[in-house]
Structure 1
Amino acid sequence: MRTRLALVPGEPAGIGPELCVRLAQRPPDASLVAYADPDALTAAAAALGLPLRLLDADRDAGPGELALHPIRQARPTRFGQPDPANAPAVIAALRDAGAACLAGELDGLVTGPVHKASINAGGIAYTGTTELLAAQAGVEVVMMLANPRLRVALATTHLPLRAVPDAITRDGVTRTLRILHAALARDFGLSAPPRIAVLGLNPHAGEDGHLGREELDTIIPALDALRAEGLALEGPLPADTAFLPQKLSGYDAVLAMYHDQGLPVLKHSGFEQAVNITLGLPYPRVAVDHGTALDLAGRGVADPSSLFAAAALCARLARHRRSA
């Protein structure tokens, strides 16, 4: 049975639709069903000078084709100019695609970049697609970014730096590591127990309490309890040396305590093929690791590598999950 994935372009005025058109030109790793406005996709194809034939949602598409679940926008797309009137269509595409995955009609979800300010300006309270899909599924999730060289999960996500220490709790670290461990074992098909490097919060991982007590009071007790359950955890490690190549070779993933502790290293090591994975959902969800690039929209110069990587990885995760 062929893997079937939902494909959501995201902000129609950004580069998402044209990246989906470029993806449609390739021999597919899986059957794709786009949740989008047909006019937005055809406008992007025309701007790129590429063929695009839209099919019914239950059809298998070949190169130059996309199966479509139509989500009509309130207003036509203008490249580079987000319109808050189209925010309901952006959210409807995400919700409908997530619902299809929850119902088992599709095997996974690939998402393009959204424009948070435009959605909120449209009167919809929106903090992020990860949060929207987690609430829809009624589960707790973990954000992990990955490229072919490295996987980095986050204990906290989009927080001001001054709020991070209070957000690092024993229960939170424990929950995050359990979700990460389960996803690595199930979705990535690791035959041996996944090996996870856990970073400390403070410089030098706290220097035995001299540079902060979060490691001693919070992180170490959480790791010790999980090791007793059989998880293969290393740390807490100083973040400034944990990413050395000889150390990374011994880990399947790294857990960073906050956004800018781990993600600059990952993006430096391979930004073009980096993707954003939501762990803990009942289905695989993989997103591009870049924004809407409004200044590039409609010009045909946007790099599609991240969307190509996201679709390929989502198909692979879906197959692993099905076989498991």
Structure 2
Amino acid sequence: MTLPLQPLGITMGDPAGIGPEIIALALGRQLNGMRRIVFGCPHVVRRAVGVVGLDLSVREIDEVSQAQFAPDTIEVLVTSSFTQLPSFGEIASNCGQAAFDALVASIKCAIADQISGIVTAPIHKEALSAAGIGYPGHTEILADYSGSTSVAMLLGNDLIRTVLVTTHCSLLDAIKAADFDAQMAAIRFAHEGATALGYRNPRVAVAGLNPHAGEGGIFGREEIEIISPAIEAARREGINVSGPWPGDTVFMQARQGHFDIVVAQYHDQGLIPVKYMGLENGVNITLGLPFVRTSPDHGTAFDIAGKGIADPASLETTFEYASRLVAAKQKEVA
């Protein structure tokens, strides 16, 4: 039996960035018949509706159960309320706090099964820091507040997908952190994530850490001593995984259809090829959470915030991926 589908939650992101604008634009195209709830400040959302020139109403609610989903109406669950709207494109502690509060509220609702998943608009790391919030980004907040002990980032588009062994840390720390256990976790997450996206027996490729995947130990021994043993162990678990492949060609092979998903060793190794294919189609998925979470593959774009020219395409793609993942979870429960 399929369980009733709860509404999808959307966090407004940093109020000084393009998050509220792209939410208004995306919802303006999808509102009627879709069950969406924005977590954030209603005044910020109203301003965003005006910036993009849409004829939409904003309705304030205090609980998910109060949502009515009337035509041409954005439901906003109030998690902050600015008495003076923040300036566009400026780092501010109150914006960082408001973005954080919206995310934490959405996590609580997701854990309570009041919403089917979370789509997060971009936050600004410096604004979080200015607010005294000691997290480097969404992923770490989501993991901590959901009680998840192991999570991973899956970044992708229609052509290539990647899961990261390490995320937001220096390259030196990433090399230290990319140990056997981290390799195994990333390979498993890549298999599970690709499966959830509809790939049967997904072909997982693991990128090497060193140039030419170490060239048989000439350029480093991490591939021999850490990465290859993890690949072999994952194969024994039944995962269709291969590598380590040179990082400078493995994504090209994935784009050509040889692999369904790539395990990248560090942040930029995985994100550069995905983002090079176009931010408008990129999506970020957090694996390992007890609920679905997706986000656009771009930042707050302070330079164009408030100008009404932000493109909602990536957010719309994010909605599509969230729906696919929620449907997959529904099948698991049924």
TM interval, short-chain normalised: over 0.9
Aligned to 1:37: 41
> In the alignment, what sits opposite 2:50?
46
Conservation of the 8 A alpha-carbon contact between 2:254 and 2:260: no
Match of 2:126 among 114, 117, 123: 117
In structure 1, distance between residues paired with 2:298 and 2:158 = 16
* 1:62-101 → structure 2 map (5 Å cutoff): 64-74=72-82, 75-101=84-110
After the TM superposition, which of the residue ranges 90-99 and 115-124 deviates more from structure 2? 115-124
Distance between the aligned counterparts of 1:295 and 1:189, measured in 2? 37
Q: How does 1:253-264 map to 2 (within 5 A)?
A: 253-264=261-272
Q: Is the 8 A contact 2:153 2:284 kept in 1?
A: yes
Counterpart of 1:229?
A: 237
What is the aligned partner in structure 1 of residue 27 from structure 2? 24
What residue in structure 2 maps to residue 285 of structure 1?
293
* Aligned ranges 1:306-321 → 2 under 5 Å: 306-321=314-329
Contact 1:109/1:286 (<8 A) preserved = yes
Give the unaligned 5+ runs of structure 2. none
Comparing 130-139 with 159-168, greater Cα deviation is found at: 159-168
C-alpha separation in 2, matches of 1:127 and 1:266? 21
Contact 1:73–1:86 (CA under 8 A) maintained in structure 2: no
Deviation, 1:264, is 1.4
Aligned partner of residue 15 in structure 2, secondary structure: coil
Residues 7 and 111 in structure 1, CA contact (< 8 A), matched pair in contact too: yes
Q: For residues 208-227 of structure 1, what are the structure 2 equivalents within 5 Å?
A: 208-227=216-235
Determine if contact 1:26/1:64 at 8 Å carries over to the other structure. Answer: no
Distance of 1:63 and 1:298 partners within structure 2: 25
- Going from structure 1 to structure 2, the CA distance change for 1:247 and 1:310 (only over 3 Å counts) comes to closer
Q: TM-score, normalised by structure 1?
A: 0.94
TM superposition shift of 1:179: 2.3
2:79–2:105: 8 Å Cα contact kept in structure 1?
A: no
Deviates more, 1:240-249 or 1:259-268: 240-249
Once the 2 structures are TM-superposed, how far is the Cα of residue 24 of structure 1 from its aligned partner? 1.5
Amino acid at match of 2:10: L
> Which ranges in structure 1 are unaligned for 5 or more consecutive residues?
none
Q: How many residues align?
A: 322
Sequence identity percentage: 37
Partner of 1:146: 156
Contact (CA 8 Å) 1:3, 1:315: kept in 2 or not?
no
For 2:86 and 2:132, the matched residues in 1 are separated by 19
In the TM superposition, 1:168-187 aligns within 5 A as 168-185=178-195, 187=196
User: What CA distance in whole angstroms lies between the structure 1 residues aligned with 2:71 and 2:215?
Assistant: 56
Aligned letter for 2:304? L
In the alignment, the residues of structure 2 paired with residue 144 and residue 178 of structure 1 have an alpha-carbon distance, to the nearest angstrom, of 12
What is the DSSP-based 3-state SS (H/G/I as helix, E as strand, rest coil) of the residue aligned with 1:239?
coil
1:130 alignment partner in structure 2: 139
Contact 2:206 2:244 survives alignment (8 Å): yes
- The structure-2 alpha-carbon separation of the partners of 1:30 and 1:322, relative to structure 1 and needing over 3 Å to count, comes to farther
